[in-house]
A and B are shown apart, each in its own frame.
Chain A
Amino acid sequence: MDFDFSEDQEALRDAVRRFVDKDYGFERRRGIERAGGFDRGTWEGLAGLGLTALAVPEAHGGLGFGAVEAMVIMEELGRGLVLEPVTQGALIAPAMLSHAPDDLQADWLPRIAGGEALVVLAHQEAKSRYRLNRVTTRAVDGKLTGVKSLVPAGDQADAFIVPARVSGADDDAQGIALYLVERSAAGVHTRAYSLHDGSRAAEVHLDGTPGRLITGPEQGLALLELAADIGIAAQAAEAVGVMEKYLALTVEYLNTRKQFGVVISSFQALRHRTADVKMQLELARSMSYYATLRLGDAPAVRRRALSQAKVQLGHSMRFVGQHCTQMHGGIGVTDEYAGSHYFKRLTVMEMQWGDTMHHLGEVSARMQDTAGVFA
């Protein structure tokens, strides 16, 4: 049992923090947001730091790092509200493609590692909510037809990882395969939009589009569940960064703003609320560690732990977001102030990878007689 970071991990943290501070200031981010929420140059900058190579196996030109390194970088990206889809492109895509046939790995993994190729998961469908087994997109003879929603930077990505049904009814756990689909392939149409946090997403229409098989129906859903769990762990770390920075902004504000002739941090109503925010942040950080350290466990243990983490993160993100905004008073609900952007990011994150009620249901369904970290 050890929750310290190694020197290498601390060095990685410093490098990402420097990048965010120097190249991703609030004004720069605002520019990217106005330009649509995705910046290829930033992606290349992140690649230059080695982030896109992080999760790619060494045999394919990557660094082969683990989940803890991913957690470290996500915390730092969260502090800077980085809009580019690092979770999707740098963590989930390599993990999925590592299960693909050799030639597919060789075609894509080195390019992902180098930052030349952005590959994102396209799993959300309009009617699926948070159910990973609900897949209406169909694959017939390797040709995919269906509509995927909310695909991160979906009109900019080079390829998609697409769950598609090869057999069974829309809700069946069986019969889901994963395909790699290039955006330039026949029958692909995308339409982009912004999310409330300023990030970019797109609807992706597939109409008889050819895909290359990553994994067949015997492993499809299991691999998709792993993708979601990687997403939850990465998001938990990112959220810790977002909340830590938003609390820091709030502390600065409370210690500066004067009313009734004194700084408002002298008011106990606000001091206690600050203590409650700190509590939620530390509970979230604890569960972020838990999520990351359980990522390599057997699926039953992993799924339960990641749902537990998402429940805590859901509560924490909402609490910290709402209360830090409240404590700022009027300035907190303006667009010009950075704080509201932290709030919006926290709001959006709850509804990605399953919201709090959804995951509470998962925890409830998976409850054992015992309780605790090692139950």
Chain B
Amino acid sequence: MDLNFTDAELAFRAEVREWVRTHLPAEIAHKVRNALRLTKDDLQRWAKILGAKGWHGWAWPKQFGGPGWNAVQRHLFEEECALACAPRIVPFGPVMVAPVIMAFGTPEQQQRFLPGIMSGEVWWSQGYSEPGSGSDLASLKCRAERQGDKYIVNGQKTWTTLGQYGDWIFCLVRTSTEGKPQTGISFLLIDMKSPGVSVKPIIMLDGEHEVNEVWFDNVEVPAENLIGEENKGWTYAKHLLSHERTNIADVNRAKRELERLKRIAKTEGLMDDQRFRDQIAQCEVDVVALEMMVLRVLSGERTGKQPLDVAGLLKIRGSELQQRYTELMMLAGGPLALPHVYEAMEAGWQGDQWLGGAWIGGATHAMPLTGTYLNVRKTTIYGGSNEVQRNIVAQTVLG
């Protein structure tokens, strides 16, 4: 047993840290540090910088052009990116569809799609959820009918995160209604510029346009865009879900955001308020416990002795913690966090000048805090709601 990283791992960390801090544009880091609104250009700029280094697909094996890092190295990379205030890498391409293409795609599909994902040129979206299929995803209805060398797709996907920027979308579609719902699902890659694809914004409770509805109206998709075999899509999707284990806890971001919480609390004079300070202290304990759980999993991945069936535990705990610290940030802002000013989420916004002075005392830093609080209510809902996760955990404990 040993808590510390090896010298080689520490050297790796230092190398990554140096590179990330040198190459991450300062204006993007500023936005992330203060939870301001990121544009498509911000996200893609960072993706392309990473892509040029071969790190946009940081978890990829060497044979597909990735760095071939082990679980600990991947964790250290993620941590350095988070602590440097890099934007979170949009996962749909490099983390979600790429591993499926690697595992189940043809060599032609791999050569066609993987380079554009690694380089950050091609923006991928995810087409899983439907209005009637949330936690019960296997009930999905979006239909793909084979006609010659094409599929004709009709139906609707929803909650498509950043789908307004999407070039391509990977979809679970129904190709059969025979047997169990899971057995009639296929995994299809669809060019979002195809005729019949339309994207409609869903404005969320924080007033932001982050997710979308994607509609398919007689969309023609070449059959060569099918991954693997028809009606095996559910199996491929489950493979995808099993792929990401520790990143789901988002503990690296939690560490960064706890630093931010302390900065905000200091600004508001709350670090001297014992009641508030103790709430932060509790978050600090929660972060250490979650990080230790993540490190246990990483250690298990390295040695192959996985002591813990954890994906569900990490998802539940990570999302709850994220909600807790954003709640405390909002409470730290207090009344100053109440104004909903759309421009306040833009970098460099200084507030209106009114009667020659700054608006509400110039306390513009507090305005985005409530928006963030509202936004992260999603984290216990998406990716398998925490109630579904509890079912999964209970299954492993109770049988």
Q: Which residues of A line the B interface, CB within 8 A?
A: 1-5, 68, 247, 251, 254-255, 265, 268, 271-272, 274-276, 278-279, 282-283, 286-287, 289-290, 292-294, 305, 308, 311-312, 360-361, 363-364, 367, 369-373, 375
A286 touches B2 (CB 8 A): no
A283-B278 CB under 8 A given contacts A1-B4, A3-B1, A255-B398: no
Q: Given A4-B303, A364-B274, are A372 and B281 also a contact pair (CB < 8 Å)?
A: no
Per DSSP, are chain B's interface residues mostly helix, strand or loop, or mixed? helix
Given contacts A282-B293, A282-B313, contact A369 B259 (CB under 8 A): yes
**Min CB–CB distance A71 → chain B (angstroms):** 8
B9 CB-CB contact with A under 8 Å: yes
B390 pairs with A276, CB closer than 8 A = yes
Binds A, one of B150-158, B282-290, B376-384: B282-290
- B residues bordering A, Cβ < 8 Å? 1-6, 9, 72, 251, 254-255, 258-259, 262, 274, 277-278, 280-293, 295-296, 298-300, 302-303, 305, 307-308, 310, 312-313, 316-317, 387, 389-391, 393-394, 396-399
B303 touches A371 (CB 8 A): no
B393 near A279: Cβ-Cβ < 8 Å:
yes
Q: Could you give 12 example pairs across A and B, Cβ below 8 Å?
A: A4-B299, A255-B398, A275-B312, A275-B390, A278-B396, A279-B393, A286-B292, A293-B3, A294-B3, A363-B285, A367-B262, A373-B3
Q: Is the CB of B397 within 8 A of A275?
A: yes
A291 and chain B: residue at smallest CB distance: B292
The complex places the Cα of A188 from the Cα of B144 at a distance, in Å, of: 87
* Minimum CB–CB distance for B53 against chain A, Å: 25
Chain A residues in 8 Å Cβ range of B262: 367, 369
A4 in contact with B398 (CB, 8 Å) = no
Q: Is A360 within 8 A of B3, CB to CB?
A: no
Is A283 touching B317 in the complex (CB atoms < 8 A)?
yes
Contact A372:B288 (CB < 8 A) given known A283-B317, A311-B282, A367-B277? yes
> What separation, in Å, do the CA atoms of A375 and B283 have in the docked complex?
14
Contact among B2, B278, B389, B396 with A364 in the assembled complex (CB-CB below 8 Å)? B278
Q: Are B299 and A1 in touch, CB under 8 angstroms? A: yes
Main secondary structure of the interface of A (DSSP, over half): helix
Question: Does the CB pair B390–A271 fall under 8 Å?
Answer: yes
Pick the residue among A5, A272, A287 that contacts B288 (CB under 8 A): A287
Given contacts A275-B312, A364-B280, 10 further A-B contacts (CB under 8 A): A2-B2, A3-B307, A255-B398, A255-B399, A272-B387, A274-B397, A275-B316, A278-B394, A292-B1, A372-B251
Indicate if the CB atoms of B281 and A1 lie closer than 8 Å: no
- B291 to A, closest residue via Cβ: A373
Give chain B residues whose Cβ lies under 8 Å from the Cβ of A68: 1
Give the shortest distance, in Å, between A255 (CB) and chain B (any CB): 7
User: In the bound complex, do residue A271 and residue B391 qualify as a contact, i.e. CB atoms below 8 Å apart?
Assistant: yes
> How far, in whole Å, are A373 and B142 apart by their CA atoms in the complex?
45
Contact residues in B for A289 (Cβ distance below 8 Å): 1, 3, 292, 296
Task: Give the Cβ gap from A305 to chain B, nearest Cβ, in Å.
Answer: 8
Assess the B259–A2 pair: CB atoms within 8 A: no
Bound-state Cα–Cα, A334 to B399, Å: 27
Task: Report the bound CA distance from A74 to B73 in whole Å.
Answer: 33
Which among A255, A271, A274, A372 is the interface contact of B287 at CB below 8 angstroms? A372
Contact of A371 with B281 in the complex, beta carbons under 8 Å? no
A370 CB contacts on chain B under 8 angstroms: 255, 259
Instruction: Give the docked Cα–Cα distance between A25 and B343 (Å).
Output: 68
A98 to B18, CA, bound (A): 45
- Chain A residues with CB under 8 Å of B298's CB are 1
Residue with the greatest number of chain B CB neighbours at <10 A, chosen from A1, A2, A68, A276: A1
Most buried by B among A271, A278, A312, A372: A372
B289 contacts A364, C-beta separation under 8 Å: no
Asked whether A251 lies within 8 Å of B285 as measured between CB atoms, the reply is no
Q: Residue A1 contacts which of B5, B274, B284, B288 (CB distance < 8 angstroms)?
A: B5
The answer to whether B397 and A372 touch across the interface, beta carbons within 8 angstroms, is no
B291 & A311 in contact (Cβ 8 Å cutoff): no
Other-chain contact of A4, B72, B280, B281, B305 (Cβ < 8 Å): B305
